[in-house]
Amino acid sequence: MSHLSDEQIKALELKANDIRISIIDMLEDAGSGHTAGPLDMADIFTAFYFHILNHDPKNPEWVDRDRLILSNGHIVPVRYATMAHAGYFPIEELKTLRKFSSRLQGHPERVALPSLETTSGPLGSGIGQAAGIAYSARMDNRKFHIYVLCSDGELDAGNSWESIMFAGKNKLTNLTAIIDRNNIQINGMTENVMPLEPLADKWRAFNWHVIEIDGHNIQTIVNAVEEAKAVAEKPTVIIAHTIAGKGIKEIEYDYHWHGIPPSSEQEKAWMKELRTLGNKIEASHYN
């Protein structure tokens, strides 16, 4: 496993914090959108766009780029924010979220931005799309890797398990799924709405290699992806245990924040909280 230096970890943690700030800013300005999921996935998206993915923001349609499929499209503010910070488009454009004629709609539209890969909204479709891309890539002897990011709540959808079964049967080793295991969905906690546990055992039963991690630990995220790429006989799922609304104490673990934006007063308070956190990160590791 590659070991990130303290300096690299600090830079990635600060970037994730900046991305959370951008998410809150764009959601408040839009006056609508999803808050909890985007905040809890900021560390994972940061690790991917700034360390893991083989990609080129200046050549987003590069044929040999890794493919990142977002299945739960409602958390797309975190993808927009991360792509902007990575150089795909100006950060200022984030202010157009959910506006008429904007490229940044509430659910991603594949043709609106290069390298979005898929249009997503209906839950449960992403694993099947990713499995199809992985299967065709293997047929064409392409070496890029396919990642699909999913919510835990969308695993209620039966078509997810059809795709999981297909990928396991065909031993799609070029496919890695990452599950945002934040334990919430739109109308409650997952284990109350439709219990998913024992989740890891279910994936193993469909012939997947399973890794469980802390989804907020940058080094652990990187290590898990490296392990996934080293597995030679089956696809891998990374169950990332996350905290819904991560970074904002007022809303952490609260499913009510699945689909509402902050008010202007909350934005001011939350920005202060995140800037304070950023200062703590800046002071860590070396001092």
Report the candidate in 284, 247, 260, 264 with the shortest Cα–Cα distance to residue 18. Answer: 247
Residue 287: the pLDDT is: 47
HSE on the CB side for 14, CA within 13 Å? Answer: 14
Residue 70: the pLDDT is: 98
11 within 8 A of 55, measured Cβ to Cβ: no
pLDDT in tens, 110-154: 999 988 999 998 899 999 999 999 999 999 999 999 999 999 999
Residue 114: the pLDDT is: 87
Domains of the chain: 6-283 (3.40.50.970)
Mean pLDDT estimate for the chain: 96
Indicate whether 3 pLDDT > 90: no
Mean pLDDT (whole number) for 222-226: 98
Mean pLDDT (whole number) for 193-214: 98
Token readout for 250 is 């007022």
Residue 2: the pLDDT is: 72
Phi first, then psi, for residue 237 (nearest 5°) are -115, 135
pLDDT in tens, 247-262: 999 999 999 999 999 9
Mean pLDDT (whole number) for 7-18: 97
Distance CA 152, CA 97 (A): 25
Determine which helix (DSSP H) or strand (DSSP E) holds 269, and give its type and residue range.
helix 264-283
CA dihedral 39, 81, 240, 66 (to 10 degrees): 170
What percent of the chain has pLDDT above 90? 96
Confidence of residue 174 (pLDDT cuts 50, 70, 90): very high
